[in-house]
Amino acid sequence: MTRFSFASKILTTVVSTFTSYYIHLWASCFPDKPLSSPMPSFDGRVVQYPSFQNLRDYLSWRQIDCHINNLYNTTFWALVQKGGMLRAEAEETLKGSVAADKNEILFSRFGMNYNDELEQFRKGSVMYRDYEDETKALLNTAPSKSHQGEPSRTQKEKGKKRPRKAEITLQCTDLIRDEFWNARPWLFSDR
């Protein structure tokens, strides 16, 4: 089995399981709104990018796309739910609009500042493998009582050799700027 077909098989299982749980738990989250046809379904894709830069560009594009879609939907539903427009009217109002137009509609008609929306809606959610901060890990190795503050060079060397604890982190953060990537070099290494 090739790496790609193995990844596709895993993805199929994950998407299927997610869909099942989503439907199964619906009533506990929305007791007054029973599910009806068409039933929710989800998809996924496995893509092998030729370079880290291609992957980073793709993730940046997806984050921008999340922002564009959320700004449109926030404005659309404000026009319908708060502005009393029919869906077709709201769609016509937004046709050909740019981000500045949507921000102006939200602010001037509804007193909403789009920048006050939660980051998870403006940027989406990112899951990644994160490692324990090396400095924090070194400080937690019970240094001698005479040692205060910064770890010694010997402690730093021992800390580099010690396996670091990894955990999956869920965060709403900016993937477009360099700060996220510079702080997590292991994301584009073979580790």
Averaged confidence pLDDT in the chain: 85
Which 3-state string (H, E, C) describes the chain? CCHHHHHHHHHHHHHHHHHHHHHHHHHHHCCCCCCCCCCCCCCCCCCCCCCHHHHHHHHHHHHHHHHHHHHHHHHHHHHHHHCCCCHHHHHHHHCCCCHHHHHHHHHHHHCCCHHHCCHHHHHCCEEEEEECCHHHHHHCCCCCCCCCCCCCHHHHHHHHHCCCCEEEEEECCCCCCHHHHHCCHHHHCCC
Question: Which among 106, 50, 58 has a CA at the least distance from the CA of 82?
Answer: 106
Under the banding of pLDDT at 50, 70 and 90, the label for residue 18 is very high
Which of residues 64 and 157 earns the better pLDDT score? 64
pLDDT, tens digit, 9 for 90 and up, residues 19-74: 999 999 999 999 999 998 998 888 888 888 888 899 999 999 999 999 999 999 99
pLDDT for position 77: 97
pLDDT for position 133: 61
Under the banding of pLDDT at 50, 70 and 90, the label for residue 5 is confident
Q: Determine if the pTM surpasses 0.85.
A: no
